[in-house]
Each structure stands twice: as structure tokens, then as C-alpha cells.
Amino acid sequence: MIRDNLEHWLNRIWYAETPPPAWLMPLSCLYCTLVRIRRKARRAGLLPAIHPGVTTVVVGNLTVGGTGKTPFVTALVCLLSEQGLHVGIITRGYGGKAANWPHRVTADSDPYASGDEAVLLAQSCAVPVYAGSDRLAAARALLAENPVDVLVSDDGLQHEQLGRDIEIVMIDPLRGFGNRHCLPAGPLREPVSRLQQVDTTVALGEHPEAGFHIASEPGDAINLLDPHNRRPLGSFANQPCHAVAGISNPGRFFGMLNAQGLQPDTRHFGDHHPFIEADIRFDDDFPVLMTAKDAVKCRAFAGKNCWYVPLELNPGPAFTKWLLETLKRKKYCG
């Protein structure tokens, strides 16, 4: 509860039109200074990056919180696999309580041990997924058991110990970079000037600073207890329903439902919320809708009225062309 309240308070500051509290600004200046010192040390060779030995694509963001990385990584991996490439994924496994890291994550892994996003990636992509906060160690563990052509790092932009060939930054199309201040006065992990050093930027929607705007839309709702049971999302529009979300920007999910004609009673929690059965129970049997990320944590105690809504992406020919050309140009050759 305390964590959820703090997250809500910070988001109000970060994405408000008014300046952040003055007492936070010195802390942000200190944070930015430390980030710049670290980057200069990295460029000077004092903190050398170590390349895992295969072409490595890092997908990340400058802001704290969700920008659509997980569905984008899923689409990216599918796109690479369609080209005949063998792909592996490394991810942090945020929120996971496993005793041993890094480790392989499968579709049947416990999301409370390996992290919700890691399990969702394993369920969505038929490729090896390894989780661990040390991305280099995760990469080495993956490559020791799986010969792959391309390694995709989910949310690894700031983990500069991991050498990489391509960097893709995700931008929230609605919230952008907020007040454009670094932590803690703003949502930035690094200054916006970092965008000058990455290969491209992507938004799942329209944003003036994005190099590519990728179309996304909700797919059919899928029943948590019976994945073969699917309903068009619009079929929930003319009936009472609930929506729950434990993500960093629940308004985006609720707004997506509203755009399809749904008017759900909403209940939201902090990002990576550790769901319990009471969180998705109501005093009725109306449908309960949630995100795919939350579904991996709720499936064990979900009722037959629980559904999740996947996000479907279409990278489009322009991004596909850019990706294949960039891979050819920046392929790791040892």
C-alpha cells in the first residue's frame, strides 16, 4: 500500500503541468551528474562494456514505468524469427523472488519467482528466455545452452556493462517524457539528450519525438481458465463489467477499453502488484478484464468470469525495412 501510494504521488508530480517541488531539484541534479560521470567513464574505457558475442538488440526507455516494451519485444522477436533467425531474450525478472539468478523462464514458471514480464515473454514467444538483474550473466547463461543468432534485451538500456549493437528506445505516446526532469523530480532515468546516441525511437502511437509510430490495437479478450474461449472486446460494451490493472499507467489500459465502448468499474494498483484473489473478486459475476501481464499472476485463482486483453502490434513495412538493414549493417562479427 505504501509503495502504491508513493508511486501514485510521484506520477502526479512527474506528469503535472506545474513544476515539481523545489526540494527535489537538487537530488535530480545530483542524479544527472552521476549518470554523466558514469557514461564518461564508460567512454573512457574505465568501465568497459563486455559484448556477449552475438548480435545484441537492447530495447529500453528513458522513463520509469511502462511504455509498451513487453508487447514490442514480443513483436520484435516474432519479426526476427520470421526472417529465419534464432532469437533469445534476456530480461530483468523484476519482482521475482527466486533464490537463484539468472535462470531460464518458461511458460509454466511462477511469476512470483521469475517476474510477471519474464513469464509473459516466455508464454508469448517460442524462444529461450532468461531472467536476471545482471544482464551480462543472463546473456552468458542463455548462450551457454542455446545457440542463437540475435539476443534481445528487454529493458536493458541503462545496463551498459552489456555490450550491444542496436539500441531502441520506447516512448510513451500519451505521457512522453513528463516534466523532462531526471529522478526523483521527474521520470527520467537518463537525460533526454541520450536519444541522440540510440539507433531509433518507437512509440505505440503518435509522438513527435518517435522515429517510428507502430500501430497497436486490443485483440480478442481471452478467458484465463480456458484460452480457447475468446470474445471480441466490443462484445463487453453493452453489459456491466470490471477492469483491474497493476501496471504503471492504468489509464492507458482503461482508456483502451473506453475506446472500444466499454464503461467498466475500475480498480487499479501499483506496477507489478502482487495480486491476491480478493483483488479480482467483486460482489457479482460480471466479467473482469485485465492486461496480459496481470493475467499471468491471477490465473491460479481466477474465476470463469476473468478475461485478459492482449495488445496486438503491427510493426509495418517501414520499421521492418529499417530493422533488417540495421541488422545487416551492425551485425556483430567478433
* Chain position carrying cell 520509469: 64
248 and 129: one domain? no
In a domain, 62, yes or no: yes
In a domain, 19, yes or no: no
How large is the angle between the packed helices 316-330 and 69-82, nearest 10 degrees? 70
210 and 250: one domain? no
**Measured torsion, CA atoms of residues 62, 67, 72, 74, in degrees rounded to the nearest 10:** 100
What pLDDT score does 12 carry? 93
299 and 319: one domain? no
pLDDT digit string, tens, across residues 225-237: 999 999 999 999 9
Strand 311-314 relative to strand 215-218, pairing: antiparallel
What pLDDT score does 1 carry? 67
What pLDDT score does 159 carry? 93
Instruction: Name the residue range of residue 253's domain.
Output: 220-309
What pLDDT score does 191 carry? 96
In a domain, 1, yes or no: no
242 and 105: one domain? no
257 and 324: one domain? no
What pLDDT score does 334 carry? 67
174 and 77: one domain? yes
In a domain, 65, yes or no: yes
In a domain, 238, yes or no: yes
211 and 253: one domain? no
83 and 187: one domain? yes
CA dist., res. 216 & res. 205, Å (int): 7
174 and 140: one domain? yes
Query: Where would I find the beta strands (DSSP E) of the chain?
Result: 55-61, 87-91, 103-105, 129-131, 150-154, 166-171, 200-203, 212-213, 215-218, 221-223, 230-231, 242-245, 265-268, 288-291, 306-309, 311-314
On whether 67 is known to bind a ligand per the annotation, the reply is: yes
CA dist., res. 127 & res. 147, Å (int): 11
Strand 215-218 relative to strand 221-223, pairing: unpaired
CATH number, position 76: 3.40.50.300
Phi, psi for residue 168 in degrees, rounded to 5: -120, 125
Divide the 334 residues of the chain into consecutive groups of 10 and give the mean pLDDT of each group.
82 94 97 94 90 98 92 98 98 95 98 97 98 98 98 94 97 96 98 97 96 96 98 97 95 96 96 95 98 97 98 96 97 81
Domain count, the chain: 2
Within 8 A by CB and 6+ apart from 132, the residues are 90, 92, 93, 101, 102, 103, 138, 141
pLDDT digit string, tens, across residues 248-265: 889 999 999 999 999 999
CA dist., res. 145 & res. 80, Å (int): 20
Within 8 A by CB and 6+ apart from 145, the residues are 104, 128
Phi, psi for residue 214 in degrees, rounded to 5: -105, 130
57 and 77: one domain? yes
In a domain, 105, yes or no: yes
On whether 69 is known to bind a ligand per the annotation, the reply is: yes
On whether 119 is known to bind a ligand per the annotation, the reply is: no
In a domain, 210, yes or no: yes
On whether 234 is known to bind a ligand per the annotation, the reply is: no
205 and 249: one domain? no
CA dist., res. 186 & res. 210, Å (int): 20
What pLDDT score does 4 carry? 78
On whether 261 is known to bind a ligand per the annotation, the reply is: no
162 and 226: one domain? no
In a domain, 15, yes or no: no
On whether 68 is known to bind a ligand per the annotation, the reply is: yes
On whether 91 is known to bind a ligand per the annotation, the reply is: no
